Amino acid sequence: MNETVTMLRGALSAQEACRHVGVSRSAYYRSLRPPSPRTKRRERSPRRLPQAVREEIRSVLNSERFMDMPPRQVWATLLDEGVYLCHWRSMYRILAEYEETRERRRLRVRPRHKKPELLATAANELWTWDITTLRGPSKGIYYKLYVILDVFSRYVVGWTLAPCESGALAKELIAQACERHRPRGKPLVIHSDRGAPMTSRTYVQLLADLSVTGSWSRPYRSNDNPYSEAHFRTAKHHPTYEPRFGSLEDARRWARRFFDWYNNAFYHTGIALMRPATVHYGKTAEVWQARKRVMEEAYAREPERFVGGMPSVPAPPEAAWINKPDDPEAAREIAAQRDRRINLNPKRRHRRSA
């Protein structure tokens, strides 16, 4: 191929000849250069430590005493004891020959947090709560919005607005929500992330006093608390939401209007376009039957409009999960544990409810 390009060079330029043959010009020019001589292998330094000494140094570095110490600390330790083997950089080179330069220090092993897998099949079985920030009138002024959400019905069972985060304030809010919405003796799980108010001693002690089971997200996993995160997005994308509120009272007035709309007027896609209050207070079947009758009447009047036959009305989900297991057997086991917790000591619960 190069000979063909060379023959064409008499009548054409190098670029045209290469294009005619179908080779790149750089490849053609590279083929004309003689191959460069092979580089001479680098000789070992005469100051290189003998192999026997290197093996001895390696055995010292990997001994039980120094196996979890980096070479710099080994070098300093031996130097204080009046022993010099070699420079610490040479220690690194010796270890590198055997691919032993990984982390040598004894580090703390962080505990693995179990992924929360929670199930709710009715209202007031599983709550989730979180805190979000609202901007104040000027830079540096913020308000903290606490919201407790029922996972099954998406109903806001409690909220408050304060100028700061506080474990005592969270305790008061949880206690009020339990007094208003939690049936006496019914098991309840409250899920949250690992913020300071959620892990404070005041809050944890309150859960124990109320016989409420606490659940917490894994560190740095916002998707372990998806319902609260989704709710805050709904709040901050509502047309009445202000980028900045003039005062704490202005923010509270907005929150009162928003939560009233959210609980009683908002058609939530996660619960088959039902209102949260409808699901929370057990009116789902009534509303669903009424919707179904409307669709049946519409189909009876004009069946030709429904090509696929009788239209179906989406029914609300029978369960709500936080991190539903992929294994069906594991999901059934969690459901069985939940049923055992609900049915635990029913006579005692009856006396308390009475």
User: Tens of pLDDT along 220-232?
Assistant: 887 899 999 999 9
Element (H, E) at 126: strand 126-135
For residue 125, which of 190, 170, 176, 174 has the smallest C-alpha distance? 190
**Under a CB-based contact definition with an 8 Å cutoff, are residues 284 and 274 in contact?**
yes
User: Tens of pLDDT along 238-277?
Assistant: 999 999 999 999 999 999 999 999 999 999 999 999 999 9
> For 105-113, which contacts have Cβ atoms below 8 Å and span 24 or more sequence positions?
105/68, 105/69, 105/70, 106/68, 113/218, 113/219
**Under a CB-based contact definition with an 8 Å cutoff, are residues 171 and 204 in contact?**
no
pLDDT on residue 78: 95
Handedness of CA 16, 17, 22, 28 (dihedral sign): negative
* Pairing state between β 126-135 and 189-192: parallel
Distance CA 163, CA 273 (A): 34
User: Tens of pLDDT along 184-205?
Assistant: 778 999 999 998 999 888 899 9
pLDDT on residue 351: 34
N residues, the chain: 354
- DSSP alpha helix (H) spans, 196-316: 196-199, 201-209, 226-236, 248-264, 276-280, 284-301
**Under a CB-based contact definition with an 8 Å cutoff, are residues 277 and 264 in contact?**
yes
* Pairing state between β 126-135 and 213-216: unpaired
Structure tokens at 207: 């859960």
Any idea where the domains of the chain sit in the sequence?
2-32, 51-97, 110-348
Give the three-class secondary structure for 161.
strand
> In this structure, how many other beta carbons lie within 10 angstroms of the beta carbon of residue 135?
15
pTM, two decimals, is 0.69
Structure tokens at 78: 């031996």
Distance CA 153, CA 149 (A): 8
In the block, residue with structure tokens 């372990």: 224
pLDDT on residue 33: 76
User: Tens of pLDDT along 310-350?
Assistant: 888 998 889 999 998 888 888 888 888 877 777 764 443 43
Q: How many CA atoms lie within 13 A of 132 on its CB side?
A: 19
Among the residue ranges 16-25, 56-65, 73-82, 187-196, the one predicted with the least confidence is: 16-25
351 or 74, which is more confident? 74
E-strand ranges in 212-331 read: 213-216, 320-322
Determine what percent of the chain falls in helix, strand and coil, rounding each to the nearest 5.
Answer: 45, 10, 40
What is the CATH architecture assignment of 110-348? 2-Layer Sandwich (3.30)
pLDDT on residue 269: 93
Give the three-class secondary structure for 50.
coil
